[in-house]
Amino acid sequence: MSGGALKLRDVRKLADSRAAFEFQVPVAELPGMPADVSAGGGQVQVRVHFGREQGFAMADVTLSAQLQVICQRCMAPMALSVQTHSPVLVVESEQEAEDAPPGWEAFLAPEGRMSLEALAAEELLLALPIAPLHEPGSACAAAAPIASDARQSAPAVEEKAAATRPFADLRALLQQGAKAPK
C-alpha cells in the first residue's frame, strides 16, 4: 500500500471516522530516512488507528521493522529489530503543538493534511538507537575490551587535564599588559 500511504489525507476526517490503516512499506521508500538506514533494505509493518484525545486528532502508531544498520562499535553490518508503539497528537500548526497537553508527542500536519508514510518515517526515526551496537557477547565483543580500556584510561587523561591549567597565568599577563608603558 505504499502508493496509497503517500497520498495526503485529511486529518479531521481520519480522526472523526476513527480510521484504521495497516500496510507494509520498504524502508527506502520512507521520506527522510538516512541513507545508512535505507541502504540496508528491510520492510516496515505499520498499523495506524486514528481518533480524538482531549479535542486533538490522535494517531495510535505501531511499527515493526527488521533493518540492516552499521554497528558503531565494530563498523560491521548488523540486523536490528525495531518494535514501537506511540500515541501521537496530530496538529496543524506549531502553535497547536505548543498548546498540546504535556507529555504528548506531536506530529505536524500542515493545513490538516498528512501522509501516512511520513508519520511512519518519523516514528521509525524516533525508535532507532542513536548508536546501534551488537549485543554483548556477539560478533563484535572482541572490540569491547578496547572500548573499556579507553574508558578506564579516561580518568587519567582527566587528571592530567585538570593539572594543566592553560589560563592560570592569564591574570598576571593581563596585569602586565595594563602596566606596560604606552
C-alpha grid cell for residue 3?
Answer: 502508493
Percent helix, strand and coil across the chain, each to the nearest 5: 40, 30, 25
- Give the 3-state secondary structure of residue 66: strand
Within 48-143, residue ranges assigned H as helices are: 94-99, 116-127
- Lowest-pLDDT choice from 53-62, 89-98, 161-170: 161-170
pLDDT of 144 reads 47
What tens digit of pLDDT does each residue of 103-130 get?
Answer: 888 999 998 899 999 999 999 999 988 8
Banded model confidence at residue 75, pLDDT cuts 50, 70, 90: confident
Q: What is the mean pLDDT of residues 10-16?
A: 91
| Residue where the block lists cell 502508493 | 3
Cα 79 to chain center, whole Å? 18
pLDDT of 2 reads 44
Task: Tell me the average pLDDT of the chain.
Answer: 81
Q: How many residues comprise the chain?
A: 182
Residue 161, pLDDT > 60, answer no
Q: Residue 146: count other Cβ atoms within 10 Å of its Cβ.
A: 10
What tens digit of pLDDT does each residue of 36-74 get?
Answer: 787 777 889 999 999 998 889 999 999 999 988 888 888
Q: Report d(CA 97, CA 93) in Å as an integer.
A: 6
Banded model confidence at residue 34, pLDDT cuts 50, 70, 90: confident
How would DSSP label each residue in 23-52?
A: EEEEGGGSTT--HHHHTT-EEEEEEEEEEE
| Dihedral sign computed on CA atoms, order 35, 36, 37, 39 | positive
Banded model confidence at residue 158, pLDDT cuts 50, 70, 90: low
pLDDT of 156 reads 52
Question: Which DSSP letter does residue 87 get?
Answer: E
Q: What percent of the chain has pLDDT over 90?
A: 33
Residue 5, pLDDT > 90, answer no
